[in-house]
Structure 1
């Protein structure tokens, strides 16, 4: 989360006039993240003060956002703790503020845990909650192609390869091809709504238990196992890109206890673990090299850069030392 679009108290009070949530006490911009503008908002109604989060969307359009608004409400209604758009007195959750789509959401309890402090217990909680998220979204009535999914990485890998050293270009194209081969004969790989970006900083904790999943704005219809691989590559890796087997085993076993793996998922895991690393390596490479992206609007803010080498090292490690799903 971050602040790209400035919001004044007057701006916010104009938005709050549509709600019956009380009067503004304070607002504070939230640092971190790369895609949206976020503020903590404190409101008072009578003797009660309540915390909220205001999000302004910097990349997603007003037309794209109903999928996410509906998904968050769907998951929340099924007991998965995610932020959801609070509806105003006219029943409208998706608003507009300072020329950006916007939502006002409850501020969920819990705090962040630094990556170096993640333990097998944290990872087990992630596995359990992610499986619950997948099960809850199996029959979600909307579908969405990931905006940084297979078609995106095919196009962007072709655009970027001439900017890379030959070794990196060959590595990238080899992984794009590996996923295409899997996709041609997927077998029994369950699909549904995935989170798509469940890095450790998109979860809140009390102790080692997850209290909420945040930032669902990369959610899409895709392989559940790919979503789990995204988590494993962030939550279960060491600084040098190697896999912490104890953390990964805890993640995978806890997930399987809620949603057991199919035999075809057992076979596909090494490929999808690499695909997940490739996707985030590519998405970091593009802004790192200063290459324009077709999907970004002209008025989108400058992205905060993250070192792509971290994901490259994870990818190389996944290729050299593939792991297995628990039987």
Structure 2
């Protein structure tokens, strides 16, 4: 959520006249992330202040955005703790700001836990399963735009930056995943709307007192799409349940997250058979995207691209090591 498009206090105040949220009191750019321009916005209405998040979309088109925004609204209406898009006075939740699509959503409570414990991982697993089930019946459809087709498209752009070992890893894994995605077993895996990017910095925990925390919610749904639920689970486990130095799965955290998920949405035999394949797919997806962001960066205020070697290491470990089961 770096700032690519800069806006002034007065520009935002004018834009917010199309909403019934009150008077703008504070505006602050959000430095983390690499896709959109994001700002914390504090509004005052009837003597009370409330915080929101304003997003200006840098890559996504107007025709793509209703899927994400209405998915968030769909989930929020069903009790899943996600940001709720705010309608303007005309009822629309998507508008234009400085010639780009923009929206404003409620701000969730809490902060990210970058060193989560097993209990926090269990809370994430529980809510991820509930989110998947709540997404059933969502009428809009859009594929995960960062899936196999995008990996193949991006391969040629990043290969020149890789050494021989990395090039072989990328090409071999793309061949493996192409065969997997094209098979009958993959087609039989259950799925629906997925977050597809549920990293530690896209989840908030709030203080529950006595040194405890509770899940505040999931946010940043702008990589969401229709995909296999097992892929969404694998992406989550690959970030929440690993030793950062080695990329190895951390057994207590992984077991806690998987058991909590399984208790809400039991995983079936075909998902168990292809769990390691999906862990590899999740690692490949983020290795490719981080290589692309790192070697082909865009200009932005506060932009800090992530180190791609992190997911290279994870991918190599997922290939070499049998995945932990969830029972």
> Normalized against structure 1, the TM-score is what?
0.93
Q: 1:139-182: per-residue Cα shift (whole Å, max 9, x none)?
A: 21111122211101122224433442222112112222222222
Distance 1:242 1:304 in 2: 25
Unaligned stretches of 5+ in structure 1? 292-298
Distance 1:127 1:210 in 2: 11
Equivalent position SS for 1:83: coil
Q: Which residue does 1:45 correspond to in 2? A: 45
Q: Do structure 1's residue 325 and structure 2's residue 325 form an aligned pair?
A: yes
Alignment of 1:160-179 (within 5 A): 160-179=158-177
Q: Do structure 1's residue 229 and structure 2's residue 228 form an aligned pair?
A: no
Q: Conserved in 2, the CA contact under 8 Å of 1:192 and 1:221?
A: yes
Q: Which residue does 2:99 correspond to in 1? A: 99
Q: Which residue does 2:292 correspond to in 1? A: 286
Q: Which residue does 2:220 correspond to in 1? A: 215
Equivalent position SS for 1:186: helix
Please, which moves more after superposition, 182-191 or 139-148? 182-191
Alignment of 1:80-159 (within 5 A): 80-114=80-114, 117-159=115-157
Equivalent position SS for 1:17: helix
Q: How many residue pairs are counted as aligned between the two chains? A: 318
Q: Do structure 1's residue 199 and structure 2's residue 225 form an aligned pair?
A: no
Distance 2:222 2:19 in 1: 24
Q: Structure 1's 12 and 162: CA in aligned 2 closer, same or farther, altered over 3 A?
A: closer
Q: Which residue does 1:269 correspond to in 2? A: 275
Equivalent position SS for 1:172: helix
Q: Do structure 1's residue 257 and structure 2's residue 257 form an aligned pair?
A: no
CA RMSD of aligned residues (A): 1.7
Q: 1:271-316: per-residue Cα shift (whole Å, max 9, x none)?
A: 110110011011111232338xxxxxxx985863211111011111
Please, which moves more after superposition, 142-151 or 258-267? 142-151
Q: Which residue does 1:78 correspond to in 2? A: 78
Unaligned stretches of 5+ in structure 2? 207-211
Distance 1:79 1:301 in 2: 35
Equivalent position SS for 2:18: coil
Q: Conserved in 2, the CA contact under 8 Å of 1:273 and 1:318?
A: yes
Larger RCO, structure (CA 8 Å, separation 6 or more): 2
Equivalent position SS for 1:121: helix
Please, which moves more after superposition, 253-262 or 24-33? 24-33
Q: Conserved in 2, the CA contact under 8 Å of 1:2 and 1:36?
A: yes
Q: Conserved in 1, the CA contact under 8 Å of 2:247 and 2:314?
A: yes
Q: 1:103-161: per-residue Cα shift (whole Å, max 9, x none)?
A: 111111111112xx211111101100110111011221111122211101122224433
Instruction: Give, in angstroms, the shift of residue 267 of structure 1.
Output: 0.6
Q: Which residue does 2:246 correspond to in 1? A: 240
Q: Conserved in 2, the CA contact under 8 Å of 1:58 and 1:301?
A: no
Q: Conserved in 1, the CA contact under 8 Å of 2:205 and 2:215?
A: yes
Instruction: Give, in angstroms, the shift of residue 82 of structure 1.
Output: 0.9
Distance 1:290 1:48 in 2: 44
Equivalent position SS for 1:96: strand
Q: Structure 1's 177 and 208: CA in aligned 2 closer, same or farther, altered over 3 A?
A: farther
> Normalized against structure 2, the TM-score is what?
0.93
Q: Conserved in 2, the CA contact under 8 Å of 1:121 and 1:208?
A: no
